Structure 1
Amino acid sequence: MRALLLALSLTLPASAAAQAVMTWLMPDLPPASIRARDQPSAGITDAQIAYVQAHWPEVQHRFVYANLKRTWTMLDAGEPVCYSFTLINAERLKRAHIVETGLLPPLQLVVRAEVAAALPLNANGEVDLPRLLAMPELRGLISEKRSFGTQLDTALRRRPPNSTLKQTVIGSYGENILSKMLLSRADYTIDYDFILAYYKDRNPRLGVLRSFPIAGNAEPIKLGFACPKTDWGKATARKLDELLASKEGARALRNSIDKWISPDARQRYAEQFSAFYRRREKPMLAPGGP
């Protein structure tokens, strides 16, 4: 039956297929999405989808929580679903029709306030990561299972043999590593600013931690909705793009993210954020595209 429904959805005219049901693939990753009884609640993409629901009541919106592997398997198979929270890169743009929904600060160095003055910063206030990794007096802690992208992963692999950066296999690495920093068992880690903000909201004691940009890794990250490379996916992406293309839509998208970003990051990337949301007031997909 599932295969039959999929086949029908892919052979229907795009407009008809898009008007039946809108299935969202959701990440179980606070605060990207904060799951409550298998429904979205107060996360970043939860608020974005709430805006879409309010302006697209003709369809039934349903939610499926899936890990990243399952999500992209379904998209690559052309299933009539859209992923609600993809970080946009060249490889994903080839695999899906993507509607841009916001900007996030890049990975940051998270540090205990007491040692912030000792950080090796360049003239732009960015951390020189190779120099930091060579400083024996500052202790780092990261998850050994996690990738931080090509540039940062390369710097981490090339750290000196006597580096005091440690890797851990502890579960719930974000929260646990931050907790260890409160106990002065580590001076710094690497994480997203919005992840830090989420845990600060849950644990006010984490308010003593600060975030700094990392040199060479300071460009904000685009995120968006990803729909399959099918006629249905193309029509649905264009519909979503149009729904968001207004001052009201751009403001809703910005508010969904701003609440999870630190004051430091909001100030640091204010110009880029403002430019993006001005563009988001109009359709961003090219006519006849994406």
Structure 2
Amino acid sequence: MTAMSAHAQGKAEGSTPTITRITWLASDHAPQMKGSDVSGVTGRVTAYLEKQWPGVRHEIVFANAKRSWQMIENGEDVCRANMVRTPDREKFAYFINTQLTPPPGLIVRRDTLKRLPRNAAGEVQLSRLLADHTLRGALIDGRSYGPALDEMLAARPVDSTVSLFSPKDFGARVLQMLSLGRADYSVEMDMALIMAGNPPDLVSVPIQGAGDLVMAGIACPRTAWGLAAIRGIDKAYGRPEGAANLREGLMRWLTPETKAHYAARFDAFYRERAKPSRIDP
């Protein structure tokens, strides 16, 4: 029986599925790191849930962002951590908020900095950059970079020199392309640079008009199975120790300057995260 037919039967019978296993889709694999960091955010989530939700088996399967979303959209019995939450995605998935993250920046080689169109504050003017045919962009297909950046990227010229890729990792291969000179810029979070070992030749530059924090969370399909799964996950995280675990997991990927700049926003978010979420069917 397929995931979708099982869902249809569950709705017809009015039953609530029993969650015994969750398959987690992940692309935040960092083989160059050690210990628990190898599996990135997803590994930390499953380690916590194994302790807080006994009786449920957690399995990590690596899939790129585009494939992961297709599986969730198709109603398969899978979940994904660290997924940007948008209104369009909420049509097909149940979410709980787990991270309020600093926005992605433009990643470039240091020797390319002087070629970027920037305002007086040093922020990149992305629309001008996307229209510049002398610089090549590399983005991850099927990924959301947050509402503001998604809108800017969708409005790029049809003849822009931006190429889309579907790597299985958390963007490390795209960053390698930049280092090797096969592309000139990408859009990525600081965490990706850290997971890639902080390449000394790459630097992150803020983007004009995209400075808001980005809400990310855990997503499961909008099915009976997905609702049961997301409620069980939220029960594990909707308590003070759950919020503390999530906060610790994020802070390790941020610079001291970023932590200080957003301190008040982080405090407010994790106070709310320490309580159960409202999840409507």
Please report the TM-score for the alignment, with normalisation by the length of structure 2. 0.73
CA RMSD of aligned residues (A): 4.1
Partner letter of residue 21 of structure 2? M
Is residue 220 of structure 2 the alignment partner of residue 227 of structure 1?
yes
| Cross-structure match for 1:197 | 194
Is residue 269 of structure 2 the alignment partner of residue 276 of structure 1?
yes
- Residue from 206, 229, 232 that aligns with 1:236: 229
Question: Matches of 2:222 and 2:164 in 1, distance apart?
Answer: 38
The Cα shift of 1:114 comes to 6.7
Question: Matches of 1:253 and 1:282 in 2, distance apart?
Answer: 13
SS at match of 2:29: coil
Question: Matches of 1:232 and 1:166 in 2, distance apart?
Answer: 38
Q: How many residues align?
A: 267
The 5 A counterparts of 1:108-257 are 108-112=105-109, 122=119, 126-130=123-127, 140-143=135-138, 146=141, 149-155=150-156, 173-180=173-180, 189-199=186-196, 201=197, 206-207=199-200, 209-257=202-250
Question: Matches of 1:70 and 1:128 in 2, distance apart?
Answer: 30
Percent identity between the two aligned chains? 32
SS at match of 2:68: helix
Unaligned ranges ≥5, structure 2: none
SS at match of 2:180: helix
Is residue 97 of structure 2 the alignment partner of residue 97 of structure 1?
no
Partner letter of residue 215 of structure 2? K
Q: 1:140 to 1:229 in 2, by over 3 A?
A: same
1:110-136 Cα distance to aligned partner (Å, 9 max, x none): 245577688665566533334667899
Is residue 49 of structure 2 the alignment partner of residue 52 of structure 1?
yes
Is residue 25 of structure 2 the alignment partner of residue 26 of structure 1?
yes
SS at match of 2:231: helix
Moved more, 225-234 or 140-149: 140-149
| Cross-structure match for 1:162 | none
Q: 1:197 to 1:153 in 2, by over 3 A?
A: farther
1:65-121 Cα distance to aligned partner (Å, 9 max, x none): 334454344434444332334221111111111111112322202245577688665
Question: Matches of 1:144 and 1:60 in 2, distance apart?
Answer: 33
1:138-176 Cα distance to aligned partner (Å, 9 max, x none): x744227757623135356698xxxxx88698x865232
SS at match of 2:47: helix
The Cα shift of 1:229 comes to 1.9
The Cα shift of 1:196 comes to 1.5
1:9-54 Cα distance to aligned partner (Å, 9 max, x none): 835832x612xx12223123435xx699xx9953012112211111
Question: Matches of 2:240 and 2:176 in 1, distance apart?
Answer: 39
Partner letter of residue 142 of structure 1? G
Question: Matches of 1:227 and 1:219 in 2, distance apart?
Answer: 25
Unaligned ranges ≥5, structure 1: 160-164
- Residue from 76, 79, 83 that aligns with 1:82: 79
Q: 1:166 to 1:224 in 2, by over 3 A?
A: closer
| Cross-structure match for 2:252 | 259
Please report the TM-score for the alignment, with normalisation by the length of structure 1. 0.71
